[in-house]
Structure 1
């Protein structure tokens, strides 16, 4: 692990950065993390392929790894798969943020009657970023129960990382169209399209051209595991031009390759050091005040 930490540090030091900001990392209650790992290990229906999780250390060790990499900030993205989970997860992530100085206080929600109350309560308690997992939750992001939630997040300007692309497995509510309906109703919302919206990244780039608040995270995107960086020239040009709308994410600890590979995948795009500085630090530093 020491060699890997040195590689990560060399990456951001070579760019003249003070460190990295990773907006897509997962810390959650131990029992929930164990269930998620078991699902990955079994290549469950929403995984659909072999997925050997690389980082299985306990919480303290995982924190030490990220600190060894030189991360200035990261998230604790927990998410519910059914009603009645979100409030307890928000209590856990609030406590985690309180005892972990580098953690951006994260929260979540589910389409349920109480969401209209507990989301603003989480913001009041200091939540700086939310997580919504349309694929795992198996819900329509345009569900009427979520309308006040999106409205609250839009009004507060709090970003929400949304797994709404159809990777690795499509479900009835993944893809650009459901989020397009959300954005039509809440045009100032700041959704961070997780995993760059893969495989429908073109449709999500179209949404970003229509709505200034649409952001992307690079989580697993452009890695060999997700198909590499073989992009049409038009889409390469658009991704390069969206320099100020893209945030680095890794999906640590549930990734099937080393952390360094996520960074190397971005370098292979060959968009230049300025693009890498913005994506790996500058944009998130600006948005979250790091």
Structure 2
């Protein structure tokens, strides 16, 4: 059974006002229902049974997340086809306006209109973008994205990007396709979702090379993930070296275990309270200027 005291006790011990979760999903209901149906069917990009732990309507999910002590979070959306991203951005802008603790989120897809609607989202106040190379099945090196990467680099807006090959590899996943993007746009504030699972070492190498690259902890070290994609124990010491660029993420609501497990596994790494404090709150607070 979940321990209701674990998260408040941890926040008190760390001396933080809450948790900042950079990897949560809020979407138009029609889209969320399709996402849940995909998980229910154990679709090709999932590849295994995946029960949704926090399946509920939007207001219940918001109340649940805030009940965990989450002070700020994202509404990660992602298109899987052209002519979808601009509509999603309209929805996320409206969601952010009525949900003050949500970081205004936007997205994009390689298409001729991408630069225009990304620029519009930035002008409306987008604070973080999400892009899913695996689901979108596109090459991040696509020339249609060059002006987008340039806009985001110049605006210094973080981009949560699923470009690792977990759980199922895609044609353009892994460090290979994204590395040339970083070479061309070295100041991009990419946040590598899931620590780049399963290519953990390669993405830690990229973090060594690019000072503005960050990684999120989403699903890493959980029992669900470790059973198939274990984090290499030989790399644990490297987590200290990039401790100021690791951000907590959960994948709420689409996780198959209790929310607090996502943080318990971080504590069990035994990297110390200062490291945990930075990962669960301070790093994101500094990145997004949350006071």
TM class by shorter chain equals over 0.9
Aligned counterpart, 2:276? 276
* Number of residue pairs matched by the alignment: 288
Q: Which residue of 2 aligns with 1:20?
A: 19
Asked if 1:242 corresponds to 2:236, the answer is: no
Where does the alignment leave 5 or more consecutive residues of structure 2 unmatched? none
Report what 1:231 is aligned to.
232
Partner SS, residue 12 of structure 1 = helix
Q: Deviations over 1:70-128 (max 9, x none)?
A: 11100000110000100010000000000001000000000000001110110110000
Question: Using a 3 Å threshold, how does the CA distance of structure 1 residues 230 and 155 change in structure 2: closer, same or farther?
Answer: closer
Q: CA deviation at 1:224?
A: 1.1
Q: Is residue 255 of structure 1 aligned with residue 244 of structure 2? A: no
> For the residues of structure 2 that align with 1:85 and 1:13, how far apart are their CA atoms?
42
SS at 1:77 equivalent:
coil
Give the TM-score taking structure 2 as reference length: 0.97
Query: Does the 8 Å contact 2:220/2:231 carry over to 1?
Result: no
3-state SS, counterpart of residue 180 of structure 1: helix
Which consecutive residues of structure 1, in runs of 5 or more, have no partner in the other structure? Answer: none
SS at match of 2:260: helix
Q: Which residue of 2 aligns with 1:217?
A: 216
Matched, 1:11 2:16: no
Partner SS state of residue 275, structure 2: helix
Tell me what 1:286 maps to.
Answer: 286
Q: Find the aligned partners of 1:120 and 1:5 in 2 and give their Cα distance.
A: 42
* Matches of 2:59 and 2:268, distance apart in 1: 32
SS in 2 for 1:45: coil
Query: Does the 8 Å CA contact 2:42/2:48 hold for their aligned counterparts?
Result: yes
In 2, distance between residues paired with 1:38 and 1:288? Answer: 33
Stretches of 4+ aligned residues off by more than 6 angstroms: none
2:215/2:245 contact within 8 Å kept? yes
2:153 maps to which residue? 154
* In 1: Cα distance, 2:81 partner to 2:3 partner: 37
Distance 1:76 1:12 in 2: 23
Q: By how many angstroms is 1:17 displaced?
A: 1.1
Give the Å deviation of 1:232.
Answer: 3.0
Q: Normalized against structure 1, the TM-score is what?
A: 0.97
The CA RMSD measured in Å over matched residues stands at 1.3
Structure 1 CA distance for aligned equivalents of residues 85 and 140 of structure 2: 16
1:5 Cα offset (Å): 4.8
- Structure 1 distance, partners of 2:231, 2:32, is 33
Q: Deviations 1:226-255 (Å, cap 9, x if unpaired)?
A: 11765333x111112111000000000000
User: How far, CA to CA, are the matches of 1:7 and 1:271 in structure 2?
Assistant: 18
Aligned pairs (5 A) from 1:1-290: 5-227=4-226, 231-233=232-234, 235-290=235-290
Alpha-carbon distance in structure 2 between the residues aligned to 1:10 and 1:28: 31
Instruction: Note the alpha carbon deviations across 1:251-285, whole angstroms, 9 max, x for none.
Output: 00000001011001101111000000000000000
